[in-house]
Chain A
Amino acid sequence: MLCAFFFFWMFTAPSWAQPNAPQGFYPSSCRHADLPQLLSKIDSRLAQDLAGLPKVNRKFLAKEYQERADSLKSEILGENFIQDSLWTAWFQNILDEILKSNPTISAHDVTLFLSQYESPNARSVGEGTLVFNVALLPFLKNESQVAAILSHELAHFANDHGNIALHHYVNTLYSPETQKQLKNISKGKVNKTQRAIDLMKGMAYKSSRHSRFKETEADSLGFVFLSNTRYQLKEAIGVLKILDSIDQHTWPVIPYESIFNAPGFPFQDSWLENSASSGLSSQPAFHSEIFASDSMKTHPDCEHRILLAQAQYDALGQPTGGQLFIQPESNFLQLQNYAQYEVIEGLNRRGASGRALFRALVLSINKPDDSYLNGLIIKSICEISQSQRAHKLRNVLDLPDADYSDEYNRFLKFVNNLRVSDLEKMAYHYALNHWAQSSGNEGFVFAAIWSAYLAGAKESFEVWKQKYLDTYPNGAYIQYINELD
């Protein structure tokens, strides 16, 4: 029954949003009010693209275009994109400024989505859709840098880089020469794999799907786009410098003992011991930070691009100097702050409880009384414990990896050292510790009720449940709370 409830909860629970909460962070809605129009726009753009396809390899090209459109629709239907006007209006204003200043761009075809994905990145899908991961925002210094990134992605679209790469891949794969070579390899009897790998080199279109194609060309045109706006052109160089060092980001050390020590459940040093790791894993082959593995840093040769951008700046110049902000700076700062929460919310929404918990713990170091974070910490621990009970822990929690940062690996080992009963008691005692500050938050109260249920704390469960029912008679979690009875 408990497992059934858990999985029911995982897939049907509402967003962590609490529209009635009196204070704190409120996650944005990702439900599209104009969903039919949005899907229709993608379909009509697809139809237009398909109609314009050349005869050669048309079938294979059409399949790729179709897949691209389906993938985008799937992301939209999966509610991966933020729809809150606080966000969309701010970004749309920047996009409008660029489009208005650059009438050569087909503005009608451009759609901007803001995603909660954790990777600090932005991409051009290829048919006019741009995706900006809000995780990138905390790394940026001003609105001009956001504009520089959007200009770069618009340049990819304007120069049709996505479609060119797609056509290049399909036409290469289905060219008579490649087909002849593939046929020979296929019919051959020896060394087929190595021959295929050799042939495959340079054809990896899908692995670079997010338009890492002709980056310097996009830099250059993006620079021109930006130069036509009121934004400060020099920030295009500044943003490249930031991207160049984005993978040097380090996490603060999480003080687990001070966070989780409770009078009724004292912290145990053994939870932080590293007894599970072997000698093999202590010899990592890679050191890159996983959160930046798909970041813009992976665009080729940032240093070289910075030099080119500097030369272009020197040539173009910007007599007026430009503005760092066109919109109030406070809006930028507010969204920068919210971006970290949105990333956590996105992880939580997608069931990545371990990563959501880690980021929430990091953020809570300086915000120990944040009701949203406290609720999410409890909820994530409960989800991890229930996944472990169902032997599905790998669905919600990563394993340590040399690719991850030391602090994230430390977190993973900490959680892995905990027994199910430890996790459940930890969540409950954390709820007890934070009840006074956070019980005004609906999500927190629900998470506290769930933790009390799992820890077998009947009295707290009844008291907290009654509090919820009294305070939120039409609350978002009524159904789930009743399931716990």
Chain B
Amino acid sequence: MRKKYLIFVWACAFLNVLTVNAQKYTFDDVGNIQLKNMAPIYQNDIVMGYFAFYFLDKSSKKNMGNYKLILLDENLNKIAEKQLEEDIDMEILMASYNGKHLMMVFHHYSRTKSTALFAQYEIWFRQYDMNLNLLSTENRSTDDMGTYSFKNLTPELPHVSPKFVAVEDKGFVFYNYNYYDTQFTGRTTQQFFPSDDTKTWQIKSDKYDKRHLIYSEMCHNDKIVLNRLSQYTSDYSKYLQGVNLESGEILFDKEMTIDEYNIQIIYAYPDSMGNFVVVGKYYPKDKSTFEAKNLGIMMGKINTKGDFLSHKFLSWKTDFASKIAVDATGNIKGKGDIFIHEAVHTNDGKICLIGEIHDIKIGIISSDVLRLNDFVLIELTADAVISDVRLFEKEARSSKFTAKIPLGGYELYPNIVLLQGGFDYQFLRRDKDNNAYTFFYEKQIKKSKKKYTRQLGTISKRVGDTKYETDLISLDSDATDFQIMPAKYGHLLIVEYFKKTKKLDMRLEKFNH
């Protein structure tokens, strides 16, 4: 589906000139410029700025257009701009900054290679300096990349999207998934684009390796990038892969198991010794991670071969039950099961896991019903000791699924809810020094039978604080189009488009954190 373009009266972008007159021509009559797309520029998880990509007009060359690319800093101040002549359907997919260069992925629909059944795209990987001078470009043909699935590439949803990883001063690792058939059999490509004289490399997964359907970077240090692989149809995220950043050599590709448990890694980060701290849920080995109920949280450390150097299991039954009323499978009586959305570490060595309590009633004839309840915030010390567990109360709400959830395992259901965007939890942001973090959730307040007012709730914590700061931001707007984008820590970018006045308003709003 084509995006709805936001339109500026282009004269506003340059100068105020006279308004439209029916008899005479003014500059307003000449045309409009269109904001084709705008998105944050990330340095890994941190928003460093934004790009805005404007379509100006058609160029004199066939199927080509004139564009303006504008680079904004984190405070929406213009850093640079560049006029480009590109394909008439060109868009910028995503952008990343590695402290040295800017990588932008351009793409456009291929008129020559697309068929009635399959859309084909041309993709350009371009590195720029901060003045938008082009440093390198690489075009990937669809023959090489396969039919491109853009569904996975939504930068606004960091928890489900493959990442475009910026390796500090070295380059960028790009993850791409290609569908090959309707049986979810596909191939993942992982490619490194250097920012210096080092060689590029590419890893293509085995076409028949189903684990690669969900394949993304977990973290990296200056030598290794750590990837998570998931087997969508049976096991979820229990494989870890380590790749040498310089050579592209796969250092390890392992199923995460310890003793009689399978482990689904949720979060990892590099420590100062070159190893990786990993946190995950653990399950009994006799069932897949989709079917089994998880038994608790595992925190450990792996080396560069993927071997565990240390680990500790924290069970719901013994370790957590003394702090909250939870049973052995992570169920809180009368409320539901805990689904861990995300985790984050802070510079004091602690790790916070953010869970949401949910209860899914599978109807035999009637609709399946999801009931969402409180958040659970779990804080672990660097020694894997539970330092804090607390319920963060929020108004419970129920919603019916329009389509039946396929019968499957215990862990499958919340993952389907997650893919459908059914949870209140939205996303997590942290500051670049790992000194503070905030997670966002959506709150709906019923105004009438069919009308809801929507708010974005925030729950934040800084290192050293004992209590969480909260805020609620209204998502109701008079604007024709309204969008919230990630911003520098402590802020949200609110973009509003007013059709009547053809006005686009962008503002960074601080929330209490």
Contact = CB atoms under 8 A, between A and B. Distances in A.
Given A179-B25, A186-B25, A278 B10 contact: no
Contacts of A173: 17-18, 26
Contacts of B15: 200, 204, 206-207
Nearest to B19: A63
B77 interface: yes
Interface string A274-289: 0111111101010000
Interface in A21-66: 60, 63
Nearest to A401: B77
B43 A391 contact: no
Contacts of B508: 394, 399
B49 A196 contact: no
Nearest to B65: A190
A276 B16 contact: no
B56 interface: yes
B30 A186 contact: yes
Contacts of B58: 189-192
Interface residues of B, number: 57
Interface string A384-399: 0000110111100001
Contacts of B31: 186, 192-193, 196
A317 to B, nearest CB: 44
Contact of B130 (A189, A280, A400): A280
B488 A200 contact: no
Given A60-B18, A179-B24, A186-B30, A283 B75 contact: no
A182 B509 contact: no
B265 to A, nearest CB: 29
Contacts of B57: 190-193
B14 A197 contact: yes
B233 interface: no
A391 B491 CA distance: 10
A243 interface: no
B43 A278 contact: yes
Nearest to B50: A280
A280 B48 CA distance: 6
Nearest to B74: A278
Nearest to B46: A278
A324 B46 CA distance: 58
Contacts of A280: 41, 48-49, 71, 73-74, 79, 97, 130
A407 interface: no
A392 B29 CA distance: 35
B331 interface: no
Contact of B488 (A276, A392, A402): A276
Contacts of B48: 278-280
B66 A391 contact: no
A281 B30 contact: no
B33 interface: yes
Contacts of A194: 56, 66, 83
Given A192-B57, A275-B431, A416-B490, A393 B25 contact: no
A365 interface: no
Interface in B20-60: 21, 24-27, 29-31, 33, 41, 43, 46-49, 56-60
A277 B30 contact: no
Nearest to B460: A419
B27 A281 contact: no
Contact of B14 (A179, A200, A285, A420): A200
Given A193-B33, A403-B77, A281 B49 contact: yes
A277 to B, nearest CB: 7
B507 interface: yes
Contact of A277 (B59, B74, B474): B74
B66 A276 contact: no
A12 to B, nearest CB: 23
A454 to B, nearest CB: 14
A480 interface: no
Given A60-B24, A186-B29, A393-B510, 5 more contacts: A173-B26, A189-B58, A275-B431, A279-B97, A281-B75
18 contacts: A173-B26, A179-B25, A186-B25, A192-B31, A192-B57, A192-B58, A193-B56, A204-B15, A275-B489, A276-B488, A278-B73, A278-B74, A279-B99, A281-B79, A389-B512, A393-B509, A394-B508, A402-B73
